[in-house]
Amino acid sequence: MTRIGLTCAAAAILAAPPAAAAPSSAPKAEVMATVDAALGAGQSGDMRKFAEQFAPDCTFIDEFASFLWTGPNAIGGYLASGGRMYQETQHAAGKMTAGPPAYVYVSGDRAFVVEPVSGAATVRGKPYEEKGAFAFTLARSEGRWKITSQTWTKASESMDPY
């Protein structure tokens, strides 16, 4: 066998999933119900319902300072920082459109979701648009899915809002 043939054969073997890595039959619908509830509550301003979707020691990563919130006070810190950012940038009339999810992976009591998002608002009185995705990790505890991390990754925006 030639070197190219060996390389192709090795690549095919490495690319093939192991037999034990069959797709999980865990409840993707339950995972998405938690993510959808968090996104819906955030959009409607229901911060109590929003917070209910997260584990007590969750982590947030987002584009506004302080950029990282983690631990038992992460939700409160994240929401307070977001509120300050909205005031400072005069962010108004915001509308977010999410999904459908790009990826939903479930393995036992853990899950990973990537949810594309686009948004429109006014910033300092000017039209503003952005696109990106939220990446979520979730864990099932006592029969209920909770978000353990939420990371915002921006793909594009119409102007620098800061």
Q: For the segment 90-124, what is each residue's pLDDT rounded down to a tens digit?
A: 999 999 999 899 999 999 999 999 999 999 999 99
Q: For the segment 48-93, what is each residue's pLDDT rounded down to a tens digit?
A: 999 999 999 999 999 999 999 999 999 999 999 999 999 999 999 9
For 152, the 3-state DSSP assignment is strand
Q: Copy the structure tokens of residue 104.
A: 């939903």
Q: Which domains, ranges and CATH numbers included, belong to the chain?
A: 25-156 (3.10.450.50)
CB 134 within 8 A of CB 77: no
The DSSP H or E segment spanning 38 is helix 28-44
Running DSSP on this structure, what letter comes out for residue 24? P
Of all residues in the chain, the percent with pLDDT exceeding 90 is 80
Give the dihedral sign, CA 157/33/44/81.
negative
